Structure 1
């Protein structure tokens, strides 16, 4: 994955394990950003079966601070065995890069996820060792973070089979 292919900041290169993750920043196409997400993930063999209506019905909005925790989860650790302990420890390089990725979405960006703790609102802990998701991909478990602005759509997705 290169910066030119994805539109992601250069620091994203190698940040997401390609075998179990998908990361892209693309120009938003039209008013229905769900369509942009579906078009973006169609080339991924794990995500191509995600259904637009399921995507629309199974995402909840999260704050930008919560989006950062979700980006950490997607970039490091296992969904099946719980988030890696290192996620609770500040890492300047990792966190700076992930903040740059989230900022790249654009002004006024809103963030959405299928992570079950989003139901808890501001009290949500996305780095908890136990959680549920509204599975969208054709895997045992998947967690996505979708960022949307008037200009761009960010798709970060982690998927694992046991």
Structure 2
């Protein structure tokens, strides 16, 4: 487990491919949670390219149920070739772990993403095979899920270059 994954439940170990993803839980050290996100990602060679203004302007709020779907996409599947078909089928171990990961943020967490389907509101399908995103890393494509509470910030991010 890398240092960035500290604070996450043990089940997160190996759940997020370190070559193509980033997962971290950070104590919310600033009133503006965007600052906490930027501080959390600065040690990652891919994510340190993220511009704080673009981050602020590119995120849309999603529901906790949608966050669960998106956490699955970040942990399993490809942004270039589509979500793994297994994500459409409940899998107890994976789903329990992802609920636990999302729960680390806190009870009243709000979730945000740069995934384009967030524009669809309650009808959003984050497991659709095609989608658009506000790319923040300068790579071919990246998708983030950020959970925010008064105490913590969860950052899950997948990035792929073709």
TM-score by length of 1: 0.97
- For 1:57 and 1:5, how far apart are their aligned partners in 2? 26
**SS of residue paired to 2:34:** helix
Measure how far apart 1:136 and its partner are: 0.4
Unaligned stretches of 5+ in structure 1?
Answer: none
The aligned residue for residue 61 of structure 1 is 61
Unaligned stretches of 5+ in structure 2?
Answer: none
TM-score by length of 2: 0.97
The aligned residue for residue 36 of structure 1 is 36
The aligned residue for residue 136 of structure 2 is 136
**SS of residue paired to 1:48:** helix
Paired residues of 1:3 and 1:10 also in contact (CA < 8 A): no
Paired residues of 1:3 and 1:13 also in contact (CA < 8 A): no
The aligned residue for residue 9 of structure 1 is 9
- For 2:23 and 2:68, how far apart are their aligned partners in 1? 14
Deviations 1:41-87 (A, max 9, x none): 00100000101110000000000000000000000010000111111
Measure how far apart 1:138 and its partner are: 2.3
The aligned residue for residue 107 of structure 1 is 107
